[in-house]
Amino acid sequence: MQSFGKYVLVDHISSGGMADVYRAKVQGIRGFTKTVAIKRIHEHLLERTRFLRMFTDEAKIASRLVHPNIVQIYDLGEVDSIPFIAMEYVSGRDLYRVLKRLAAMNRKFPWRLATLVIQEVCTGLQFAHDFHSPDGQPQEIVHRDVSPRNIVLSYEGDVKLTDFGVARARDREEHTEHGVIKGKVRYISPEGARGDEVDRRSDLFSLGIVLAEMLTMAPLRDAPNEMVMLLDIRKGNFDRGRIDELPESLRTVIDRAIATDPDDRYPTAEAMRDDLLARVDPATQPMTKAEVATFMHALFTEDIEREKRSDHKAEQDLLRELQSQDGAAAGATGPGGAAAPASGNPLNVFGGREPGPIAIPALQTSIEPTGPPDLVGNLATQSLCSLIHWLAETREDGRLDLIREPVRKSVFFEEGHPVFATSNIESERFGEYLVAAGELSREQHVEVLDFAARRGMRFTEALLALDVCTPNLLFSSLGRQVRDRILDLFTWTAGTFELFHDAKPSDPVLPLNLRSHTLIHEGVQERLPLGIVRQSLREALQRRLVRCGGGIPADLHLSGRQLRIVRTIEDESPTVARLVQRERDEEWIFRLLYMLLQIDRLELVEDAG
């Protein structure tokens, strides 16, 4: 182990052209530790301003992209004049090493895993491509290095995109000169190979190459050197025989993704994902998270055990070191007991902050008096699903209060999407949420509360002042809590609601990137009591289903199987009973139909026959 500022480097993970990556531990108060990844720039690049700017750009771009399919950036700093990035540690392997392990075992890459990888990476790319700055300006982010080494599969079944080191964004400091090629050659788009300006469709080209290589277990292109390969890419040349044996449904997706002309490709990552999922069959339907976890554990059993032993040893060594330094540390702290903030670090975007106000919302946001509600109703007659859908369709700004005495929750909406939620339940306070999530121990919680009270701070400010967590970790935890508060409302079987038009939180809020229809999908599929779903459809088994309304909202994120059901309804208008009999999964069909009926994309009509 090697000390590196407040981090301890445990294992060397990998080396790249610009930096080394380590598995590391960060230490907090009362023995708190957390595993992170540290990306440390190569020392021979320290004198080259261009590389320092690129390194800073990576942290600035990726730190704003808080999404389950993107590796999170926690911190940017400097130790002994060596810049570093602290990021989320994903316990798993990158796609390159998964492919390499399978090849060594003479095994094929599972097609169902391939479709899942593309589905998840497309979801992450769509978020990055559509990202706006806090002032509403589109950032026009293009990753430019989508490749197997930058796609990570966790041992728990997650898929994440990483390494925005050569990403293009509107406000990065180091801009690419015209004619300069960025990214790994084998995955570069034709326009990238020419050194032309690239947009989001360039990332989709790279992802199409990744899909082809997963399915064929072979490179899509071979060449004696990179120059010849670049010339082939510019012309759109490759051996089509390498994908001819693939099913037509998958081959069609690859063909469109890697079209030479960007105008012939998918316009967005979302369009590519949805088209892929609409074409899958039982042999290519995406794996579940649990299935991916089982696959990864079987493939990397020894690696997992080795990492566990290493992690246990590191924890024990840190504990012994902390115990031996207890006395010295007590004498070294200042009168307030909190470490002084870092200074003199030109790269640290989080350093130099004294305890005090920061750009985060108060977690117990006060509800300002707004007069009588503009709309009132009962959840027994107006479902939460249809209510949130209506707010999204009308792009509502305001506050929705949901009451089930003595519980009261308030959800604030901007342009039809939730931006914040408050609750009067003690267990839903932010500190209690962090404790329940395992991000904070009970002892740490008490210490932070005491520190906040003595310093007159908010709880969140005390968390940062005591270095218990970084701002980005705080923001991502806040986003998860708001999401969970809203999803919990789907478990309610009774209650009332009040809507206040144009009501806003009393404190500024962060862009949490929550989408109403995504929450509807998750709420209906995971939280809504099955009894409510059954009751709504019990008398409708012999009625026919008819497609109505506009298009399916993109952020509903229907799976490939769900999209097939929608097409079946459009083509055949089957009865509910017939659809259940055909799919042999009553609960799954009932939940899908309930959701589509509640958002006015289906209607039930009497069977004329």
Triad 397, 476, 517: Cα angle to 5°: 45
Cβ-contact 531, 492 below 8 angstroms:
no
Cβ-contact 477, 437 below 8 angstroms:
yes
Tell me how far apart the alpha carbons of residues 563 and 390 are, in angstroms, rounded to a whole number: 22
Tell me how far apart the alpha carbons of residues 495 and 475 are, in angstroms, rounded to a whole number: 30
Catalytic machinery residues: 145
Q: Residue 502 is encoded by which pair of tokens?
A: 């144009």
Tell me how far apart the alpha carbons of residues 244 and 179 are, in angstroms, rounded to a whole number: 34
Does a cis peptide bond (omega within 30 degrees of 0) precede residue 134? Answer: no
CA distances from 491 to 92, 399, 408, 555, 593 (A): 34, 20, 14, 21, 18
Q: Residue 260 is encoded by which pair of tokens?
A: 């030479």
Strand partners, 411: 400, 421
- The CB density around residue 235, as the number of other CB atoms within 10 Å, is 11
Q: Which residues contact 174 (CB under 8 A, 6 or more apart)?
A: 50, 53, 54, 57
Cβ-contact 128, 63 below 8 angstroms:
no
- The CB density around residue 543, as the number of other CB atoms within 10 Å, is 16
- The CB density around residue 393, as the number of other CB atoms within 10 Å, is 16
- The CB density around residue 241, as the number of other CB atoms within 10 Å, is 7
Tell me how far apart the alpha carbons of residues 606 and 336 are, in angstroms, rounded to a whole number: 73
Triad 537, 541, 544: Cα angle to 5°: 105
Q: Residue 355 is encoded by which pair of tokens?
A: 């305890």
Triad 250, 251, 256: Cα angle to 5°: 105
